[in-house]
Amino acid sequence: MLIPEEKLNREEIVRLLATDVYSQDFYDLLAASERYARRTFGRGYVFCQVGLDSNPCPGNCSFCSMAKDHFVVEKRFTRTAEEAVAEVKKAITPQVSDLFLMTTECYDRTAFLQVVKKVRAVLPPQMRLVVNTGDFDGTYAKKLRESGATGAYHIVRLREGKDTDIPSETREKTLRAIAEAGLDLYYCVEPIGKEHTYEEIADEIVRAQTLQVKYMAVMRRVGVRGTRKENAGEITSRELAKIAAVSMLAVRPSLSMNVHEVNPAGMLAGINQLYAEYGVNPRDCAAETSKNRGYSVRECAALLAENGWEVSCN
């Protein structure tokens, strides 16, 4: 199998995405991805995300447990700044390098700035603080940074504006605001389901190339009970591992590559970063995902160590 040594173009990405997951080429692809990872990363990372509110979200994503048209989480709640700090203190350990605060579109923006500020005050100075929240403009992005955020998780989802009520242009404006504010961008191709073509997936991989992301990920869609995508079909672990490998080779992130949810098969592609999740989770009906779908920090660190990555919080 011919795999270019430099960043892949769209045609090459589509070709590699079409690789048969039961062929020798599949294993060659995983090996090439892992070679890049071992040469580049040098260490493993555990990112920890805490979901702060459970409310019917106007983003209305057809795959999300908190969409306003099919809210299926077992209860509604909004954590105050003090409650958020308490949750963060319970979740983080010295193994965590990056702490993520996730909200729906419902969370009050002014209140969220206070959450960011108060959480930053209790984190170790070396720990990065990342926001995963609704869309915002350049002024708000600067306020997030002034409040202590170091980065933002933000993406243009697959079929944005069709499977969601958010225009892709709105997402793109937020991506520009993040860059202009000097926040690190955490990017992901998601949520990948059986209905998505390799051409669609390639387009989002190319976007990540253009954005020159240091933190890259791929995520498969979960058929959450009660959502509009419940029966749409999930891709296999092998398929997710393949997409992770192609994304690694195409984007060539400088610090980390993640596969989500945690997927042992994907580790063969050289994955060096995993997410521990606490609080609410868009792929879960439970109000506390750590008691259901979410992996703990300890479980993530153990899987990284099993695959030869020394976990570091630096």
Rg (CA), the chain: 18
Indicate the pLDDT class of residue 135, thresholds 50, 70 and 90. Answer: very high
Tell me what pLDDT residue 198 has. Answer: 98
**Model confidence, pTM:** 0.96
The type of residue at 29 is L
Peptide bond preceding 191 in cis form (omega within 30 of 0): yes
Tell me what pLDDT residue 2 has. Answer: 67
**Mean pLDDT in the chain?**
96
* Residue 57 DSSP SS3: strand
Helix (H) or strand (E) holding 32: helix 24-40
pLDDT per position as a tens digit, 80-129: 999 999 999 999 999 999 999 999 999 999 999 999 999 999 999 999 99
* Residue 78 DSSP SS3: strand
* Residue 272 DSSP SS3: coil
Q: Are 211 and 247 in contact (CB under 8 A)?
A: no
pLDDT (average), residues 243-258: 97
pLDDT per position as a tens digit, 25-73: 999 999 999 999 999 999 999 999 999 999 999 999 999 999 999 999 9
Tell me what pLDDT residue 1 has. Answer: 72
